[in-house]
Structures are given as C-alpha cells and as structure tokens.
C-alpha cells in the first residue's frame, strides 16, 4: 500500500472505484465506474486496515482462503464462496490470506445510470446484505464464472452501446445470483425465516442507519426516530437479535473509528474528538477509556493493532446472521 493509499487523515480510509482500479493495477475503461478484477492475496492486503468502499462488490472465490471483516462481522472466503459487499461497508482483511478469485466492482453511479434499481433488484440486494457470504456448489460457481467472463470480455470494448451492454450483463448476473441465493435459502430454511422476519429487517435498517450517522449521533432516541419506532421497541429488538444493546452497537462503531484514527491517521487527539462530534478532548478521553480501559494517548502509543470493535467486544457472524 503506497503512501497515497495509506489511511492518513480520513476517518477510516474510503476508497473510490478509481482508487480501487489503481490498486488493481489499472483498468481498460476510461471512466472509473465498472471493474472486473482477478484478485489475489497481494491485492487484498491493501485492505488490511479498516476502510470503506464506495462501490458494490460481487466476488467469487476460486482457491485459497482469507479472513474478512464486513461491518464488524467475521467471515472466511474460500473456493466457491459468493460474497456481496454494499457501498459504504467497512471491510478489513486478515493477514496471510491466500484467496484468489474474481471480483466485480460497480460504482453506485453506474447502477443509477443503467437504471438498475428496480424494486425486485433492491429486494435482492437487501436479501444479500443479510447473507453477504454464502457457499455455493461447483456447478453454480462455474455458471457464475461464465457470466463474469462475458462481462470481462465486454469491459474492454468501447462503443456506442458498451455501457448498456455491460449494464444488462450485470443485471443478468444479479438475477443469476438471485436464483443461487434462493437455492441456498431453500437448503437453509432457518436462515430464510430469519432474514425475512420483521425484527431482522429492522435490525439491518438500524445497522445501516448507524453506519451513516454514528460519527454525529450517539443517542438511542435518534435511531428510534429514524426507524419510526419507539426507543423501547428498538432497544428490545436489537438486544434480542444480537445480544447487544443499541448503546453497545453505537460504542462499537465509534470506538472502531477512534482506534483506527489513533493508530493510522495524523490527526491529533483533539482533532479526532471533533471528528467524532465530541464537545471536547476531555469528553472523548473519558468515553474512550470507559470503553477500552485505556486513554487515547495510551492506546496511540501502545504496540497493538486497531481491533475490529471496541470495548473488548468480540463479534461473531452468528450473532447477526
């Protein structure tokens, strides 16, 4: 990861699709809005620090494996793992991964331009967000790779209808993934029942809203109003599904951001406090120490990595799937 790509002063580094193309070694398309990468461990190593990606990821593992954190939940990617990561998700890969695979990366602007946003497709994307990593069969994997090869072949061809062709191939791929996901859910009825439950839908909406506002808002009341429910209902629902309270989830997101900034940015502790909307450095220091057992300055100087999560929380994918 060169100096330009280091998480420097941004609150958890954010990569645009153009920067991802640079990481992948360039791309043939002039506009950085669509990329097919044949990724390997060295490229995934660019995401060993927590970062956000402002793009849709659709990936399929071929061989090897790697650990990945997606929005604080841990997964293992390996052969025949199909994974989807939505825009603004926080990801972090483990060290020493050996995964090789194909990744389709699409900017939200491309999706909008191609009008890929029908109610049916958005419903599919919501289902995938509940199951971002699933294991598929060899035959399903082969079929999806055929779709990816078609898009790969067309992505280097520039003509009057290139975007429309790519858009329709992408749409066909999403429908194919939809059928694959349906087969997975039929084979895992407990997962299907859970993902369609009213409570789980609210919980996913809560996490999405939290990911957008945690730097400015830390009150349970705010998130309850955003979801049009009472604070008591939201508190009960979140605790029942995840075994963590709303306040604990807020703390997890805030502390992850704070730890990343303390370790990997050039911001002062006071600047970090203002970035995270604390009234002053003293309030931030008290909040941080209450959740981690260390002051911000102690953590900044300690020889330890920025963990996934805060306050000693250990997250497991089973808690929210």
Q: Which residue has the tokens 């909307």?
A: 277
Tell me the HSE value of 60 on the side-chain side, using a 13 A CA sphere: 21
The predicted structure's pLDDT at residue 308 = 40
* CB distance 69 to 45 below 8 Å: no
The predicted structure's pLDDT at residue 223 = 94
Beta bridge partners of 61: 101
**Residue closest to 317 by CA, chosen among 219, 214, 194:** 194
DSSP string, 168-222: HHHHHHHHHHHHHHHHHHHH-HHHHHHHTSHHHHHHHHHHHHHHHHTTT---HHH
Q: Low-confidence residues of the chain, pLDDT below 50?
A: 1-10, 27-30, 304-321
Beta bridge partners of 132: none
- Please state, in angstroms and rounded to a whole number, the distance separating the CA atoms of residues 270 and 282: 9
The token pair that represents 7 in the structure block = 């998480």
Q: What are phi and psi of 91, to 5 degrees?
A: -125, 155
The predicted structure's pLDDT at residue 241 = 78
* H or E segment to which residue 283 belongs: helix 281-292
Largest CA distance in the chain: 60
Q: How many CB atoms lie within 10 A of CB 181?
A: 21
Sketch the domain layout of the chain as residue ranges: 3-193, 198-319
The predicted structure's pLDDT at residue 27 = 47
DSSP string, 35-52: EEEEE-HHHHGGGSS-EE
- Please state, in angstroms and rounded to a whole number, the distance separating the CA atoms of residues 283 and 307: 22
**Residue closest to 259 by CA, chosen among 207, 229, 302, 213:** 302
Q: What is the CA radius of gyration of the chain?
A: 20
The predicted structure's pLDDT at residue 25 = 56
The predicted structure's pLDDT at residue 314 = 34
- Please state, in angstroms and rounded to a whole number, the distance separating the CA atoms of residues 240 and 233: 11
Our CA dihedral for 39, 10, 27, 97, rounded to 10 degrees, sits at -10
Q: Does domain 3-193 have CATH number 2.60.120.280?
A: yes
- Please state, in angstroms and rounded to a whole number, the distance separating the CA atoms of residues 122 and 130: 13
Same fold, 3-193 and 198-319: no
The token pair that represents 102 in the structure block = 């194909």
Q: Which residue has the tokens 């809005």?
A: 33
Q: Which fold has domain 198-319?
A: Arc Repressor Mutant, subunit A (1.10.10)
The token pair that represents 310 in the structure block = 């805060």
The predicted structure's pLDDT at residue 184 = 83
The predicted structure's pLDDT at residue 312 = 35
- Please state, in angstroms and rounded to a whole number, the distance separating the CA atoms of residues 132 and 13: 21
- Please state, in angstroms and rounded to a whole number, the distance separating the CA atoms of residues 199 and 196: 9
What does the pLDDT look like over 29-70, one tens digit per residue?
445 677 887 777 666 666 777 777 778 888 999 999 999 988
């Amino acid at each position: 990861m060169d100096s330009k790509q280091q998480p420097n002063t941004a609150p958890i580094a954010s990569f645009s699709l153009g920067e991802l193309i640079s990481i992948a070694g360039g791309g043939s398309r002039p506009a950085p809005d669509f990329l097919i990468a044949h990724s390997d461990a060295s490229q995934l190593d660019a995401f060993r620090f927590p970062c956000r990606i402002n793009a849709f990821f659709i990936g399929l593992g071929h061989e090897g494996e790697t650990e990945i954190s997606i929005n604080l939940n841990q997964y293992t990617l390996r052969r025949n793992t199909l994974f989807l990561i939505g825009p603004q998700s926080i990801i972090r890969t483990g060290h020493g991964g050996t995964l090789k695979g194909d990744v389709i990366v699409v900017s939200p602007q491309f999706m909008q331009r191609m009008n890929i946003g029908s109610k049916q497709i958005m419903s599919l994307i919501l289902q995938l967000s509940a199951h971002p990593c699933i294991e598929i069969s060899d035959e399903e994997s082969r079929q999806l790779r055929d779709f990816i090869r078609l898009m790969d072949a067309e992505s280097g061809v520039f003509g009057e209808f290139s975007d429309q062709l790519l858009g329709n191939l992408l749409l066909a791929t999403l429908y194919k993934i939809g059928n694959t996901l349906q087969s997975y859910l039929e084979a895992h009825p407990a997962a299907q029942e859970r993902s369609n439950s009213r409570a789980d839908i609210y919980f996913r909406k809560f996490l999405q809203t939290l990911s957008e506002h945690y730097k400015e808002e830390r009150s349970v009341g705010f998130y309850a109003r955003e979801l049009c429910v009472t604070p008591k209902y939201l508190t009960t629902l979140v605790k029942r599904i995840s075994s963590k309270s709303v306040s604990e989830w807020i703390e997890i997101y805030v502390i992850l951001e704070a730890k990343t900034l303390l370790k990997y940015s050039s911001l002062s502790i006071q600047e970090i406090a203002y970035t995270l909307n604390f009234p002053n450095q003293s309030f931030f220091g008290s909040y941080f120490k209450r959740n981690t057992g260390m002051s911000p300055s102690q953590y900044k100087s300690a020889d330890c990595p920025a963990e996934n999560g805060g306050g000693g929380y250990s997250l497991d994918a089973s808690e929210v799937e």
